[in-house]
Amino acid sequence: MDYKSKLDELLLATARQNASDLHIAVGQRPTLRVDGKLLPLQKEEIVTPETAQGLVMVMLSSEQKNIFLQKKELDFSYSLEDKVRFRVNAFFQKGFLGAALRLIPPKIHTIEELNLPSLLHDFTRISQGFVLLVGPAGHGKSTTLAALIDEINHNRTDHIITIEDPIEYLFVQDRSIVSQREVGPDTLGFHKALRSVLRQDPDVIMVGEMRDTVSISTAMTAAETGHLVFATLHTNSAAQTIDRVLDSFPAEQQGQATSQLAATLVAIISQRLIPRVDGGRVPAVEIMIVNSAIRNLIRERKTYQIDLVIETSSQDGMVTLNRSLASWVQKRVISLEQAELYSPNSAELKILLERIS
Protein backbone atom coordinates (compact mmCIF):
# COMPACT_ATOMS: atom_id res chain seq x y z
CA MET A 1 0.00 0.00 0.00
CA ASP A 2 1.11 3.57 -0.72
CA TYR A 3 0.71 4.87 2.84
CA LYS A 4 1.38 8.48 1.91
CA SER A 5 -1.44 8.48 -0.66
CA LYS A 6 -3.81 6.72 1.73
CA LEU A 7 -2.99 9.20 4.50
CA ASP A 8 -3.54 12.16 2.15
CA GLU A 9 -6.90 10.68 1.15
CA LEU A 10 -7.98 10.34 4.80
CA LEU A 11 -6.82 13.88 5.68
CA LEU A 12 -8.73 15.40 2.75
CA ALA A 13 -11.84 13.41 3.77
CA THR A 14 -11.49 14.84 7.29
CA ALA A 15 -11.34 18.39 5.92
CA ARG A 16 -14.19 17.87 3.42
CA GLN A 17 -16.55 16.50 6.08
CA ASN A 18 -15.70 19.38 8.43
CA ALA A 19 -14.57 16.89 11.07
CA SER A 20 -12.60 18.03 14.11
CA ASP A 21 -10.56 14.82 14.45
CA LEU A 22 -9.36 11.70 12.64
CA HIS A 23 -8.62 8.54 14.65
CA ILE A 24 -6.40 5.71 13.42
CA ALA A 25 -6.69 2.59 15.59
CA VAL A 26 -5.99 -1.07 14.90
CA GLY A 27 -9.18 -3.14 14.60
CA GLN A 28 -11.35 -0.16 13.64
CA ARG A 29 -12.06 1.69 10.43
CA PRO A 30 -10.49 5.18 10.24
CA THR A 31 -12.93 7.27 12.27
CA LEU A 32 -13.90 10.95 12.14
CA ARG A 33 -15.33 13.09 14.92
CA VAL A 34 -18.04 15.35 13.46
CA ASP A 35 -19.97 17.73 15.76
CA GLY A 36 -18.68 15.77 18.73
CA LYS A 37 -19.77 12.32 17.44
CA LEU A 38 -17.51 9.52 16.20
CA LEU A 39 -18.31 8.36 12.66
CA PRO A 40 -16.37 5.40 11.16
CA LEU A 41 -15.57 5.78 7.44
CA GLN A 42 -17.59 2.83 6.16
CA LYS A 43 -15.86 2.76 2.77
CA GLU A 44 -12.47 2.21 4.41
CA GLU A 45 -11.08 -1.15 5.44
CA ILE A 46 -10.45 -2.15 9.04
CA VAL A 47 -7.02 -0.83 10.08
CA THR A 48 -4.45 -3.63 10.45
CA PRO A 49 -1.27 -3.34 12.58
CA GLU A 50 0.74 -2.93 9.36
CA THR A 51 -1.55 -0.17 8.04
CA ALA A 52 -1.49 1.69 11.34
CA GLN A 53 2.29 1.56 11.43
CA GLY A 54 2.55 2.70 7.83
CA LEU A 55 0.13 5.63 8.28
CA VAL A 56 1.81 6.85 11.47
CA MET A 57 5.41 6.43 10.36
CA VAL A 58 4.89 8.22 7.04
CA MET A 59 4.09 11.40 8.99
CA LEU A 60 7.37 11.33 10.97
CA SER A 61 10.85 12.57 10.12
CA SER A 62 13.74 10.24 10.97
CA GLU A 63 14.47 12.29 14.11
CA GLN A 64 10.81 12.15 15.16
CA LYS A 65 10.76 8.37 14.60
CA ASN A 66 13.66 7.92 17.00
CA ILE A 67 11.99 10.08 19.66
CA PHE A 68 8.64 8.32 19.17
CA LEU A 69 10.09 4.80 19.44
CA GLN A 70 12.00 5.83 22.55
CA LYS A 71 9.21 7.72 24.35
CA LYS A 72 6.28 5.66 22.97
CA GLU A 73 4.23 8.83 22.25
CA LEU A 74 4.76 12.06 20.39
CA ASP A 75 2.97 15.36 19.76
CA PHE A 76 3.69 17.05 16.45
CA SER A 77 2.04 18.97 13.62
CA TYR A 78 1.56 17.66 10.10
CA SER A 79 0.67 19.59 6.95
CA LEU A 80 -0.76 18.29 3.69
CA GLU A 81 0.80 20.39 0.91
CA ASP A 82 -0.11 23.62 2.75
CA LYS A 83 -3.80 22.74 2.26
CA VAL A 84 -4.65 21.50 5.73
CA ARG A 85 -2.76 21.26 9.04
CA PHE A 86 -3.21 18.78 11.85
CA ARG A 87 -2.07 18.52 15.44
CA VAL A 88 -1.12 14.88 15.88
CA ASN A 89 -0.61 12.65 18.89
CA ALA A 90 0.96 9.30 17.94
CA PHE A 91 0.99 6.55 20.56
CA PHE A 92 1.21 2.83 21.24
CA GLN A 93 -1.76 0.79 22.47
CA LYS A 94 -1.59 -2.97 23.12
CA GLY A 95 1.75 -2.91 21.31
CA PHE A 96 0.23 -1.42 18.14
CA LEU A 97 0.59 2.10 16.76
CA GLY A 98 -2.27 4.57 16.75
CA ALA A 99 -2.83 8.26 16.21
CA ALA A 100 -5.33 11.03 16.92
CA LEU A 101 -5.21 13.92 14.45
CA ARG A 102 -6.90 17.26 15.26
CA LEU A 103 -7.75 19.41 12.23
CA ILE A 104 -6.49 22.98 12.60
CA PRO A 105 -8.68 25.36 10.54
CA PRO A 106 -6.57 27.44 8.12
CA LYS A 107 -8.28 30.68 9.12
CA ILE A 108 -8.07 32.20 12.57
CA HIS A 109 -11.64 33.22 13.36
CA THR A 110 -12.63 36.35 15.24
CA ILE A 111 -14.45 36.43 18.57
CA GLU A 112 -17.70 37.26 16.71
CA GLU A 113 -17.24 34.46 14.17
CA LEU A 114 -16.79 31.99 17.02
CA ASN A 115 -20.05 33.18 18.69
CA LEU A 116 -18.11 34.12 21.82
CA PRO A 117 -19.22 36.93 24.19
CA SER A 118 -18.01 40.38 23.09
CA LEU A 119 -16.63 40.85 26.61
CA LEU A 120 -13.60 38.79 25.49
CA HIS A 121 -12.40 41.81 23.49
CA ASP A 122 -11.60 43.47 26.85
CA PHE A 123 -8.92 40.87 27.59
CA THR A 124 -7.01 41.85 24.42
CA ARG A 125 -6.71 45.48 25.56
CA ILE A 126 -5.09 45.03 28.97
CA SER A 127 -1.33 45.44 29.35
CA GLN A 128 -0.56 42.90 32.07
CA GLY A 129 -2.02 40.03 34.04
CA PHE A 130 -2.87 36.35 33.80
CA VAL A 131 -5.80 35.11 31.67
CA LEU A 132 -6.65 31.39 31.73
CA LEU A 133 -8.75 29.46 29.19
CA VAL A 134 -9.98 26.17 30.59
CA GLY A 135 -12.24 23.27 29.66
CA PRO A 136 -12.09 19.65 28.51
CA ALA A 137 -9.93 18.60 25.57
CA GLY A 138 -11.55 19.23 22.20
CA HIS A 139 -13.81 22.07 23.33
CA GLY A 140 -12.19 24.99 21.53
CA LYS A 141 -9.66 26.42 24.01
CA SER A 142 -6.91 26.71 21.40
CA THR A 143 -9.29 28.28 18.87
CA THR A 144 -10.47 30.91 21.35
CA LEU A 145 -6.88 31.59 22.42
CA ALA A 146 -5.87 32.08 18.77
CA ALA A 147 -8.72 34.59 18.28
CA LEU A 148 -7.52 36.62 21.28
CA ILE A 149 -3.87 36.58 20.22
CA ASP A 150 -4.68 37.46 16.60
CA GLU A 151 -6.80 40.41 17.72
CA ILE A 152 -3.79 41.72 19.64
CA ASN A 153 -1.64 41.06 16.56
CA HIS A 154 -3.93 43.25 14.41
CA ASN A 155 -4.47 46.05 16.92
CA ARG A 156 -1.34 46.48 19.04
CA THR A 157 2.35 47.06 18.34
CA ASP A 158 3.59 44.34 20.69
CA HIS A 159 6.04 41.46 20.72
CA ILE A 160 3.95 38.30 21.12
CA ILE A 161 5.74 35.06 22.01
CA THR A 162 3.89 31.75 21.89
CA ILE A 163 5.17 28.50 23.41
CA GLU A 164 3.31 25.53 21.96
CA ASP A 165 3.52 21.75 21.68
CA PRO A 166 3.06 21.58 18.77
CA ILE A 167 2.42 24.92 17.00
CA GLU A 168 -1.24 24.93 15.98
CA TYR A 169 -2.54 28.12 14.37
CA LEU A 170 -0.02 30.03 12.26
CA PHE A 171 -0.17 33.78 12.88
CA VAL A 172 0.55 36.18 10.02
CA GLN A 173 2.40 39.12 11.59
CA ASP A 174 0.52 42.40 11.28
CA ARG A 175 1.08 45.30 13.69
CA SER A 176 2.81 42.99 16.18
CA ILE A 177 5.90 40.82 15.96
CA VAL A 178 4.83 37.21 16.59
CA SER A 179 7.48 34.66 17.60
CA GLN A 180 6.08 31.12 17.68
CA ARG A 181 8.22 28.57 19.52
CA GLU A 182 7.54 24.84 19.33
CA VAL A 183 8.59 22.39 22.02
CA GLY A 184 11.07 20.04 20.37
CA PRO A 185 12.31 21.93 17.31
CA ASP A 186 12.67 25.34 19.01
CA THR A 187 12.95 24.64 22.76
CA LEU A 188 13.49 21.64 25.02
CA GLY A 189 10.36 22.21 27.11
CA PHE A 190 7.67 24.60 28.29
CA HIS A 191 9.47 25.46 31.53
CA LYS A 192 12.82 26.06 29.75
CA ALA A 193 11.15 28.32 27.17
CA LEU A 194 9.27 30.19 29.90
CA ARG A 195 12.43 30.72 31.93
CA SER A 196 14.17 32.38 28.98
CA VAL A 197 11.14 34.21 27.54
CA LEU A 198 11.56 37.23 29.80
CA ARG A 199 14.96 37.87 28.20
CA GLN A 200 13.32 38.07 24.77
CA ASP A 201 11.55 41.41 25.38
CA PRO A 202 7.95 40.13 25.21
CA ASP A 203 4.77 42.12 25.78
CA VAL A 204 2.35 39.21 25.42
CA ILE A 205 3.12 35.56 26.21
CA MET A 206 0.93 32.64 25.19
CA VAL A 207 1.54 29.26 26.82
CA GLY A 208 -0.16 26.45 24.91
CA GLU A 209 -0.62 24.39 28.06
CA MET A 210 0.68 24.66 31.61
CA ARG A 211 1.79 21.14 32.39
CA ASP A 212 3.74 21.40 35.64
CA THR A 213 4.39 23.55 38.70
CA VAL A 214 7.44 25.20 37.14
CA SER A 215 5.41 26.32 34.10
CA ILE A 216 2.60 27.67 36.29
CA SER A 217 5.01 29.48 38.62
CA THR A 218 6.99 31.04 35.76
CA ALA A 219 3.82 32.13 33.95
CA MET A 220 2.55 33.85 37.12
CA THR A 221 5.92 35.57 37.60
CA ALA A 222 5.79 36.83 34.01
CA ALA A 223 2.32 38.28 34.64
CA GLU A 224 3.55 39.81 37.90
CA THR A 225 6.47 41.55 36.17
CA GLY A 226 4.36 43.51 33.70
CA HIS A 227 3.44 41.09 30.93
CA LEU A 228 0.10 39.87 29.59
CA VAL A 229 0.07 36.07 29.84
CA PHE A 230 -2.51 33.73 28.28
CA ALA A 231 -2.50 30.00 29.08
CA THR A 232 -4.74 26.94 28.99
CA LEU A 233 -5.54 24.21 31.52
CA HIS A 234 -7.66 21.05 31.38
CA THR A 235 -10.07 21.97 34.18
CA ASN A 236 -13.85 22.31 34.22
CA SER A 237 -14.60 25.58 36.02
CA ALA A 238 -13.06 28.75 37.42
CA ALA A 239 -13.16 27.49 41.03
CA GLN A 240 -11.64 24.12 40.09
CA THR A 241 -8.92 25.90 38.08
CA ILE A 242 -7.81 27.99 41.07
CA ASP A 243 -7.66 24.85 43.23
CA ARG A 244 -5.70 22.98 40.55
CA VAL A 245 -3.17 25.79 40.17
CA LEU A 246 -2.58 26.19 43.90
CA ASP A 247 -2.62 22.46 44.70
CA SER A 248 0.15 21.90 42.14
CA PHE A 249 2.57 23.65 44.53
CA PRO A 250 4.22 21.93 47.51
CA ALA A 251 2.60 22.83 50.84
CA GLU A 252 5.45 25.14 51.85
CA GLN A 253 5.05 27.19 48.64
CA GLN A 254 1.26 27.44 48.58
CA GLY A 255 1.10 30.62 50.64
CA GLN A 256 3.31 32.53 48.22
CA ALA A 257 1.55 31.00 45.18
CA THR A 258 -1.84 32.01 46.58
CA SER A 259 -0.75 35.63 47.02
CA GLN A 260 0.81 35.67 43.55
CA LEU A 261 -2.29 34.21 41.86
CA ALA A 262 -4.62 36.63 43.67
CA ALA A 263 -2.43 39.55 42.54
CA THR A 264 -1.97 38.54 38.88
CA LEU A 265 -5.13 36.69 37.79
CA VAL A 266 -7.40 38.79 35.53
CA ALA A 267 -9.98 36.26 34.33
CA ILE A 268 -10.80 32.61 33.79
CA ILE A 269 -12.85 31.59 30.76
CA SER A 270 -14.26 28.06 30.92
CA GLN A 271 -15.63 26.76 27.63
CA ARG A 272 -17.73 23.88 26.25
CA LEU A 273 -18.76 23.28 22.64
CA ILE A 274 -22.43 22.26 22.49
CA PRO A 275 -24.04 20.57 19.46
CA ARG A 276 -26.45 22.91 17.66
CA VAL A 277 -29.96 21.86 16.69
CA ASP A 278 -29.14 22.57 13.03
CA GLY A 279 -25.63 21.00 13.00
CA GLY A 280 -22.27 22.33 14.10
CA ARG A 281 -21.43 23.46 17.64
CA VAL A 282 -21.57 26.69 19.66
CA PRO A 283 -19.57 27.68 22.74
CA ALA A 284 -21.15 27.90 26.17
CA VAL A 285 -18.85 29.81 28.51
CA GLU A 286 -18.36 30.59 32.16
CA ILE A 287 -16.51 33.90 32.65
CA MET A 288 -14.98 34.84 35.97
CA ILE A 289 -13.47 38.33 36.16
CA VAL A 290 -11.24 38.91 39.15
CA ASN A 291 -12.62 41.70 41.34
CA SER A 292 -11.87 42.48 44.99
CA ALA A 293 -14.34 39.82 46.20
CA ILE A 294 -12.73 37.10 44.05
CA ARG A 295 -9.24 38.22 45.11
CA ASN A 296 -10.18 37.83 48.77
CA LEU A 297 -11.67 34.38 48.17
CA ILE A 298 -8.46 33.27 46.42
CA ARG A 299 -6.31 34.59 49.28
CA GLU A 300 -8.50 32.87 51.87
CA ARG A 301 -8.77 29.66 49.77
CA LYS A 302 -12.57 29.87 49.87
CA THR A 303 -12.97 28.77 46.25
CA TYR A 304 -16.27 27.05 47.08
CA GLN A 305 -17.82 30.56 47.28
CA ILE A 306 -16.62 31.67 43.83
CA ASP A 307 -19.63 30.27 41.95
CA LEU A 308 -21.94 32.46 44.02
CA VAL A 309 -19.89 35.58 43.25
CA ILE A 310 -20.01 34.79 39.51
CA GLU A 311 -23.79 34.25 39.73
CA THR A 312 -24.36 37.60 41.47
CA SER A 313 -21.89 39.67 39.42
CA SER A 314 -23.49 39.72 35.99
CA GLN A 315 -23.34 43.53 36.07
CA ASP A 316 -19.51 43.18 35.95
CA GLY A 317 -19.72 40.92 32.90
CA MET A 318 -19.42 37.62 34.73
CA VAL A 319 -21.38 34.68 33.32
CA THR A 320 -22.16 31.26 34.77
CA LEU A 321 -22.09 28.24 32.49
CA ASN A 322 -25.79 27.64 33.22
CA ARG A 323 -26.68 31.20 32.19
CA SER A 324 -24.76 30.76 28.94
CA LEU A 325 -26.50 27.42 28.26
CA ALA A 326 -29.92 28.92 29.07
CA SER A 327 -29.31 31.77 26.63
CA TRP A 328 -28.60 29.33 23.77
CA VAL A 329 -31.69 27.23 24.68
CA GLN A 330 -33.88 30.34 24.74
CA LYS A 331 -32.59 31.28 21.26
CA ARG A 332 -33.41 27.73 20.10
CA VAL A 333 -29.80 27.21 19.00
CA ILE A 334 -29.29 24.17 21.27
CA SER A 335 -31.81 21.75 22.73
CA LEU A 336 -32.70 21.55 26.43
CA GLU A 337 -31.48 17.94 26.43
CA GLN A 338 -28.01 18.98 25.24
CA ALA A 339 -27.91 21.87 27.71
CA GLU A 340 -28.72 19.47 30.57
CA LEU A 341 -25.92 17.14 29.47
CA TYR A 342 -23.33 19.90 29.88
CA SER A 343 -24.91 21.71 32.83
CA PRO A 344 -23.15 21.55 36.24
CA ASN A 345 -26.62 21.80 37.86
CA SER A 346 -29.56 20.86 35.63
CA ALA A 347 -32.20 21.77 38.28
CA GLU A 348 -30.80 25.30 38.47
CA LEU A 349 -30.74 25.45 34.66
CA LYS A 350 -34.48 24.69 34.49
CA ILE A 351 -35.23 27.42 37.06
CA LEU A 352 -33.19 29.91 34.99
CA LEU A 353 -35.12 28.98 31.86
CA GLU A 354 -38.45 29.44 33.63
CA ARG A 355 -37.39 32.91 34.74
CA ILE A 356 -36.31 34.12 31.29
CA SER A 357 -39.11 32.48 29.28
Distances in Å between the alpha carbon of 288 and those of 53, 211, 270, 309? 45, 22, 8, 9
User: What is residue 212's predicted lDDT score, i.e. its pLDDT?
Assistant: 86
User: What is residue 39's predicted lDDT score, i.e. its pLDDT?
Assistant: 96
pLDDT in tens, 94-148: 999 999 999 998 889 999 999 999 999 999 999 999 999 999 988 999 999 999 9
Q: How many CB atoms are closer than 10 A to CB 94?
A: 9
User: What is residue 330's predicted lDDT score, i.e. its pLDDT?
Assistant: 95
Q: How confident is the model at residue 293 (pLDDT cuts 50, 70, 90)?
A: very high
User: What is residue 21's predicted lDDT score, i.e. its pLDDT?
Assistant: 96
Say which amino acid occupies 80: L
* pLDDT greater than 80 at residue 349: yes
Residues contacting residue 74 through CB under 8 Å, at least 6 positions apart: 60, 64, 67, 68, 88, 89, 90, 91
User: What is residue 324's predicted lDDT score, i.e. its pLDDT?
Assistant: 97
For residues 134 and 272, give the distance between their C-alpha atoms in angstroms, rounded to a whole number. 9
pLDDT in tens, 166-212: 898 999 999 999 999 998 889 988 878 888 998 999 999 999 888 88
User: What is residue 100's predicted lDDT score, i.e. its pLDDT?
Assistant: 98
Report the share of the chain in percent with pLDDT over 70.
Answer: 100
Report the pLDDT averaged over residues 41-60. Answer: 97
* pLDDT greater than 90 at residue 81: no
User: What is residue 356's predicted lDDT score, i.e. its pLDDT?
Assistant: 81
Mean pLDDT of all residues belonging to the chain: 94
In the chain, beta strands by DSSP E: 21-24, 31-34, 37-40, 73-80, 84-93, 96-104, 129-134, 159-164, 177-182, 204-207, 228-233, 265-275, 281-289
* pLDDT greater than 90 at residue 246: yes
> CA nearest 225: which of 248, 209, 242, 203?
203
pLDDT in tens, 247-283: 999 999 999 999 999 999 999 999 999 999 998 999 9
Beta-sheet pairing, 228-233 with 37-40: unpaired
User: What is residue 355's predicted lDDT score, i.e. its pLDDT?
Assistant: 86
User: What is residue 195's predicted lDDT score, i.e. its pLDDT?
Assistant: 84
Give rounded-to-5 percent helix, strand, coil for the chain: 40, 25, 35
Report the pLDDT averaged over residues 285-293. Answer: 97
> Are the CB atoms for 87 and 15 separated by under 8 Å?
no
Q: What is the DSSP string of 228-277?
A: EEEEEE--SSHHHHHHHHHHTS-GGGHHHHHHHHHHHEEEEEEEEEEE-T
